[in-house]
Chain A
Amino acid sequence: MTTTTSPLRPRRSPLLTGLMLLYLVYTLVPLLWLLLSATKTQADLLDSPGLWFGDHFALFANIKDTLTYDGGIFVRWLGNTLLYVVVGAGGATLLSTAAGYGLAKYKFAGRRIVFAVLLGAVAVPGTALAVPTFLMFSDLGLTNTVWAIIIPSLISPFGLYLMWVYAGEAIPGDLLEAARIDGAGEIRIFFTVALRLLAPGIVTVLLFAVVSTWNNYFLPLIMLSKPSLYPLTVGLTQWSNQATGVGARPIYNLVITGSLLTIVPLVIAFLLLQRFWQSGLTAGSVKQ
């Protein structure tokens, strides 16, 4: 146990940890329900207490059923989702990083207008625009194709906004100036100097883009009518809706297990990406 305490290496505080544990309980109770429910059969789901195990431990049977139900369509949806996430969220991160950097570091005319238009556009609720967007995409022949999902996913106004602020804070103007004096081109400066400094911001934007593309529900619901193109969210909702109406066949156990399986890749992505927060700004930038 070290006795020297500096603000840089402070002592661990049991009180703070305790307070945070309280909040953790609040966060975990619903997740615990999800985890426990994934271990239950459809019958046990209806007959056993919500926050305890059922009569049968069916987690592995549920996982197997989820992956094989309806000819293994879940795996197909998983693949679709991965495609949408890799291309959509990857592209969104690249576009908003470049644009945020451009807006923060180049004082060209019209930046204020860009900001105002962006804010105005984001403020209009997207659900009401779904039908107009559908009709336009239909005219372009894009509905029922992967592009109907990927192209709109490329835009993350939130990501752009975040990068704008990050770039303003994290990239010293002197550094760019120095690179220019060395004769580097603008695009090269962006890729060699700026990207490195922006890493924590990029990781954050990427994480948000990944999660929001992963959970993208409304757009694919409207744009796609072929189940073979569905992402997980729409597919699972279809399973869930099976419990309704004349031919009802509820498969809540698969919906729950499927939802749990859907979270796992996100946790992995999170664990992989979080390293970048630690290593982000050790490059030694000085900014007052």
Chain B
Amino acid sequence: MADSVALRSRRAWLHRDTKGWIFVGPFLAVFALTFLAPIGYAIYLSLFREQAFFGGTTFVGLANYADVLRDAKFWESFGRVALFLVVQVPVMLVLALLAALAIDSARLHASGFFRIVIFLPYAVPGVVAVLLWGYLYGTNFGLAADLNDLFNTTAIQPLSQHWMLPSIANIVTWEFVGYNMLIFYSALRTVPEELYEAAAIDGAGTWRTVLAVKLPALRGAIVIATIFSIIGSFQLFNEPNILRTLAPNVITTYYTPNMYAYNLSFAGQQFNYSATVALVMGLFTAVIAYVVQLRGSREAL
């Protein structure tokens, strides 16, 4: 009896192998058109050099890649987002994790209210962010000016050279704690009730339940959130681009690698070099994200 079931399921496995593509196929088809084709085109572009006015296009092999690796502007921007990543991502994810655990704990008054309010910043459209942060960070008329007046100082300068990266980190944290909180929260909702009951029978308190049941259940979600936060940090664009209108001299056109690629392409029409910057950055990001994924899943085993 047991043998026949095993045999049956082995045959079913083989059978099902190809059937998986039914589910994955549609996604991959659209993915190929919207992601892979442009990347393929970008790879093609990265092998050429085109002059926007006179001269035309020449094949240059990997020369653009060599240029990117020697480009001081590229490395400056890379260093900046790397620093951002190391400091901001842990802070944001820990806050999100604590918020998710708190909301899930059933020990919070009005947890549904917290859940939606913490998520709301993510829904604020980017266009109003310039006005909003222009007010909060403004040292002429804004909240920063009021605080300076209050403490009779001029120390609070959110848009100055030294404050800028923390100011950006603050905006990103404000926006994305709720986003990550929801990832964790919905993962916590998949923990079967039975596990809690079992923990309760074993006499586990709140903290033990968190450590023994909840955190292990969150591992997959934490890995995803980390990977996407890494990608998000390396692709940092919106927030510095918004603040650029408020502090045009502090935020250069190459403040982050993504802004650099964008400005090369849009302001300078240097499509070939822009594509190369994007691809090099993509390669770095993918390698780091992949390592995180491998480490995350090895620990999961």
B-binding residues in A (CB < 8 A): 6-14, 16-17, 19-20, 23-24, 26-31, 33-34, 37, 49-51, 95-96, 98-99, 101-103, 105-109, 111, 114, 116-133, 135-136, 151-152, 154-155, 157-158, 160-162, 165-166, 168-170, 177, 180, 186-187, 190, 200-201, 203-204, 207-208, 211, 214-215, 217, 232-233, 236-237, 240, 252, 255-256, 259, 262-263, 266-267, 270-271, 274, 277, 280-282, 285-287
For B194, the chain A residues whose CB sits under 8 A away are 286
A17-B108, A207-B182, A217-B126 known; 8 new pairs, CB 8 Å cut-off, are: A27-B177, A103-B24, A118-B31, A125-B261, A155-B30, A165-B223, A200-B186, A236-B127
Q: Are B190 and A201 in contact (CB under 8 A)?
A: yes
* Docked-complex contact A129 and B278, CB < 8 angstroms: yes
Residues in B with CB closer than 8 Å to A215 are 123, 125-126
Q: How far is the CA of A28 from the CA of B124 in the complex (A)?
A: 12
| B side interface size, CB within 8 A | 116
B295 at the interface (CB under 8 A from A): no
Interface code B210-221, partner A: CB below 8 Å = 1, 0 otherwise? 000000010011
Report whether B265 and A102 are in contact in the complex, using a CB–CB cutoff of 8 Å.
no
Residues of A contacting B289 in the complex (Cβ-Cβ under 8 angstroms): 119, 123
- A240 and B127 in contact (CB under 8 A), knowing A120-B282, A277-B186? yes
Which A-chain residue is minimally distant from B119 (CB atoms)?
A270
**A8 nearest CB across to chain B (Å):** 6
Q: Which residues on B are within 8 Å of A, measured CB to CB?
A: 9, 12-13, 16-24, 26-28, 30-31, 33-39, 41-42, 45, 95, 99, 102, 105-110, 112, 114-128, 130-133, 135-136, 141-143, 146, 174, 177-179, 182-183, 185-187, 189-190, 192-194, 196-197, 199-200, 204-206, 209, 217, 220-221, 223-224, 227-228, 231, 234-235, 237, 257-258, 261-262, 264-266, 271, 274-275, 277-279, 281-283, 285-286, 289-290, 293
B27 near A274: Cβ-Cβ < 8 Å: no
Contacts of A120 in B (CB 8 A): 282-283, 286
28 residue pairs of the A-B complex, CB under 8 angstroms, read: A10-B206, A23-B95, A27-B178, A31-B120, A50-B141, A96-B27, A118-B31, A119-B286, A119-B290, A120-B283, A123-B286, A125-B258, A127-B258, A127-B278, A128-B261, A128-B262, A128-B265, A130-B262, A132-B38, A132-B271, A154-B34, A169-B220, A200-B189, A215-B123, A215-B126, A217-B127, A259-B128, A267-B120
The contact of B192 among A117, A129, A131, A285, by CB within 8 Å, is A285
Question: B34 to A155, Cβ gap below 8 A?
Answer: yes
Are A204 and B120 neighbours in the complex by a CB distance under 8 Å? no
Output the least CB separation between A259 and chain B (Å).
4
* Chain A residues whose CB sits within 8 angstroms of the CB of B30 once the complex forms: 95, 151, 154-155
**CB-defined contacts of A124 to chain B, threshold 8 Å:** 39, 42, 278-279, 281-282, 285
